[in-house]
């Protein structure tokens, strides 16, 4: 048990050469602003929007400054006001309840199952507590979307999907982000396409799309949004929708377009690494892998497992021992938020009641990034280290 992993859990692959060349061309032109074009030129942001909408089968797309901005804009675009209650996951990351708080609304948390998806029984029980669900496909885990939509349609709940971890994923072949009224995606460094920051917003609803474009700061230049609705859609709302600027610039769009074109290949590479690690962990005493449903097409850019029933001190020991051997794990059971592992009871701006069943699940979730810079040999070594340390600590505790 002496081998140590020497790789990095935060090192991304380089931007494709085509993206670098396109970015340099934008910089040489000086026209970084999406509305600053010359005759006969189509802005990089416009091309990105058209290409992304076509890739997932959405009518309209808007490129924005971040995934968080996309979510807050989505909430505003469907009419969420200050004081409204918005349903969302207890197992998610801070930008999701943050987007709800940003519009003055109040998160109402829905539980998580041991499969790390939204608890649909809990959603059904809370369906009268909000008219909008901001659904987080947290860490790429997609629940039964047909049942979810049936529950929400019956209760008149508008569904907004946070697809920060599911760009390229689907349920029964239907793209993540196209089940609800709006899909929101992140282009932040650790997501499936990398612009450092950035986001994408998709919908088939013309009025929602028009409102989002106006919110993003279109300065009445909405007709240049070729992936937007027809001009007549803006006739009324252009005077009543405030500018809350959050546009994506041409530089980021130029970097993203070649990555989007190669997304299917990249998703397959992530899954190759994910399933290699999963295979190495399967059968480890004291550890449960998350069984994925056959209807779910995943993008395995991170992996989670459960340490059900472990004492907190033993989990902390596992994290320390794996870190000493170069393997960086995160845990959602900490009383205090650490890095990216905050949870519903960490966000003190929400007066959330205790959720014992979800607390039990959260207490056992261990999380790990799976960068594409890992080789399959790296994946085997990482799984072996986790397996050895888990087995040793579990058996000594027993």
Q: Please, what's the b/e burial string for 370-390 (b: 16 or more CB within 10 A of its CB; e: otherwise)?
A: bbeebeeebbebbbbbbbbbb
130 token code pair: 């909000």
What confidence score (pLDDT) does residue 2 get? 76
Q: What is the CATH number of domain 263-397?
A: 3.90.1150.10
What confidence score (pLDDT) does residue 1 get? 58
280 token code pair: 């190495």
Q: pTM of the prediction? A: 0.97
CB atoms within 10 A of CB 348: 7
DSSP, residue by residue, 153-207: HHHT-EEEEE-TT-TT-EETTEETTSSSSEEEEE-STTSSS-SSS-EEEEES-HH
* Residues 286 and 311: beta-carbon distance below 8 Å: no
Classify the C-alpha dihedral 173-201-330-107 as positive or negative.
negative
Instruction: Report the distance separating Cα 11 and Cα 189, nearest Å.
Output: 10
What confidence score (pLDDT) does residue 65 get? 98
What confidence score (pLDDT) does residue 342 get? 83
What confidence score (pLDDT) does residue 336 get? 80
Residue spans per domain, the chain: 17-261, 263-397
Cβ-proximal residues to 121 (8 Å cutoff; 6+ apart), any chain:
none
CA-based nearest residue to 195, from 254, 139, 138: 254
What confidence score (pLDDT) does residue 315 get? 96
Instruction: Report the distance separating Cα 33 and Cα 16, nearest Å.
Output: 22
Give the domain 17-261 fold: 3.40.640
Instruction: Report the distance separating Cα 324 and Cα 261, nearest Å.
Output: 38
Classify the C-alpha dihedral 372-139-162-180 as positive or negative.
positive
Q: Are strands 174-175 and 199-203 parallel, antiparallel or unpaired?
A: unpaired
126 token code pair: 């809370």
Q: Tell me the pLDDT tens digit for each residue of 263-304.
A: 999 999 999 999 999 999 999 999 999 999 999 999 999 999
Residues of the chain falling short of pLDDT 70? 1
Radius of gyration for the alpha carbons in the chain, expressed in angstroms and rounded: 22
Instruction: Report the distance separating Cα 118 and Cα 145, nearest Å.
Output: 10
What are the angstrom distances between the C-alpha of 150 and each of 176, 227, 257, 359? 16, 29, 35, 27
* Residues 299 and 139: beta-carbon distance below 8 Å: no
CB atoms within 10 A of CB 73: 30
Q: Are strands 365-369 and 302-306 parallel, antiparallel or unpaired?
A: antiparallel
* Residues 302 and 139: beta-carbon distance below 8 Å: yes
DSSP, residue by residue, 311-345: -HHHHHHHHHHHHHTT---EETT-SS--TT---TT
* Residues 31 and 250: beta-carbon distance below 8 Å: yes
């Amino acid at each position: 048990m002496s081998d140590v992993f020497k790789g990095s859990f935060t090192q991304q692959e380089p931007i494709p050469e085509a993206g670098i060349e396109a970015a340099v061309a934008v910089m040489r032109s000086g026209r970084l602003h999406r509305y600053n074009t010359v005759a006969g030129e189509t802005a990089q942001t416009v091309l990105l929007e058209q290409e992304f909408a076509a890739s997932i089968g959405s009518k309209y797309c808007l490129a924005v400054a971040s995934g968080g901005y996309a979510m807050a804009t989505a909430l505003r675009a469907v009419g969420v006001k200050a004081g409204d209650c918005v349903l969302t996951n207890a197992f998610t990351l801070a930008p999701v309840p943050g987007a709800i708080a940003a519009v003055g609304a109040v998160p109402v948390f829905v539980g998580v199952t041991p499969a790390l998806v939204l608890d649909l029984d809990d959603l059904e029980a809370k369906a009268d507590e909000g008219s909008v669900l901001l659904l987080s496909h947290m860490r790429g885990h997609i629940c039964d979307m047909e049942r979810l939509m049936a529950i929400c349609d019956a209760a008149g709940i508008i569904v907004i999907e946070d697809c920060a971890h599911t760009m390229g994923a689907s349920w029964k072949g239907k793209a993540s982000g196209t089940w609800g009224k709006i899909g929101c995606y992140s282009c932040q460094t650790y997501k499936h396409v990398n612009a450092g920051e950035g986001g994408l917003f998709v919908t088939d609803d013309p009025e929602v799309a028009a409102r989002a474009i106006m919110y993003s700061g279109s300065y009445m230049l909405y007709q240049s949004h070729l992936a937007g609705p027809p001009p007549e859609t803006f006739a009324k709302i252009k005077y009543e929708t405030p500018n809350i600027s959050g546009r994506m610039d041409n530089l980021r769009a130029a970097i993203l377009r070649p990555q989007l074109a190669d997304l299917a290949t990249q998703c397959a590479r992530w899954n190759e690494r994910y399933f290699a690690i999963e295979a190495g962990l399967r059968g480890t005493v004291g550890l449960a892998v998350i069984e994925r449903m056959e209807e779910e097409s995943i993008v395995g850019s991170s992996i989670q497992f459960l340490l059900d029933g472990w004492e907190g001190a033993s989990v902390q020991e596992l994290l320390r021992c794996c870190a000493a051997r170069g393997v960086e794990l995160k845990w959602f059971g900490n009383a205090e938020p650490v890095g990216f592992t905050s949870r519903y009871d960490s966000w003190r701006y929400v007066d959330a009641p205790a959720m014992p069943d979800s607390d039990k699940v959260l207490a056992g979730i261990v999380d790990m990034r799976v960068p594409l810079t890992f080789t399959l040999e790296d994946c085997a070594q990482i799984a072996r280290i986790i397996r050895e340390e888990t087995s040793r600590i579990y058996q000594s505790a027993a």
